[in-house]
Amino acid sequence: GGGAGGSGRGGCGDRDRPKCCSGRNNGCYYRTDTGNPECFCDTYCRRSGDCCNDYPRVCHISAIDCLVGPWGSWSPCSSLCGVGSRNRSRQVSTPPRNGGKPCPDLKQRRGCYGHEPSRCHSVKEVAKILPDSYTRTFKDPWKRPHLMVKEQKSSYCAYFRVKQVSGACRQGAWTSRVLRDKSVCVECQGEAMGSRDRCEGDGLQGTRTFWTAASTPSCQGSWVRSSLVENCRCPPHSLIFI
């Protein structure tokens, strides 16, 4: 509806059929002698406040307000280490009808701070990387004989999307291939694994962590891990953790 209030003579009972209309219908009104809408007989008139006086009696319609159930529990923090968010939701138990009150918000969100110790430790680790030409079949450039032990544990691959690359990386032959916004595969080989059978700096899913090139001073940057694949070898010309 829309227009004058419902104080005048006549109303829904004086209309031709249909006397009442559902939903919002601007053509569903009682007309005065001058032809102007005097008051309305659609269910929306309850919300717009311009129903005819006899609307409740003639139309036998009572507005039903929206009813919602209780809030569900908050989701875990989206970040396991650092700033994230939690969400919760609730369901509609009775939808609004006949111009009743609309539903309130069904979702809420709030900030949180994740601090799972093992995950935060992973975030603080810095990956030291080299090109895969430095694998065990080559002379160990770091004079670390323990890296040359025959591989016992199977390798895994960490895929990262590079976010930042320092200017010094342009000086190195292989580091100049590490480019911003490109995806890289870094292989964790058995010789490089620590006590927990993983490589230091292998990152945290969806979280920004840092890397440094072991052979090029000041070449460093950040990346976000997109996936981790067990029992995997990176394709040729990839990187390795050391």
What are the extents of the domains in the chain? 12-59, 68-115, 119-241
| The one-letter amino acid at 10 | G
Q: Are strands 239-241 and 183-188 parallel, antiparallel or unpaired?
A: parallel
Q: Please give the average per-residue pLDDT across 204-217, as a whole number.
A: 88
For residue 177, the 8-state DSSP code is G
What local confidence, expressed as pLDDT, does residue 98 receive?
67
For domain 68-115, give the CATH superfamily: Thrombospondin type-1 (TSP1) repeat (2.20.100.10)
What local confidence, expressed as pLDDT, does residue 9 receive?
65
Lowest-confidence segment of 2-16, 126-140, 148-162, 215-229 by average pLDDT: 2-16
pTM higher than the cut 0.75: no
More confident residue, 39 or 119: 39
What local confidence, expressed as pLDDT, does residue 61 receive?
66
What local confidence, expressed as pLDDT, does residue 169 receive?
93
Q: How confident is residue 231, by pLDDT bands cut at 50, 70 and 90?
A: very high
Q: What is the pLDDT of residues 22-37, one digit of tens each?
A: 888 988 988 877 767 7
Q: Phi, psi at residue 63, to the nearest 5°?
A: -65, 140
Q: Phi, psi at residue 220, to the nearest 5°?
A: -155, 175
pLDDT at 109 over 60: yes
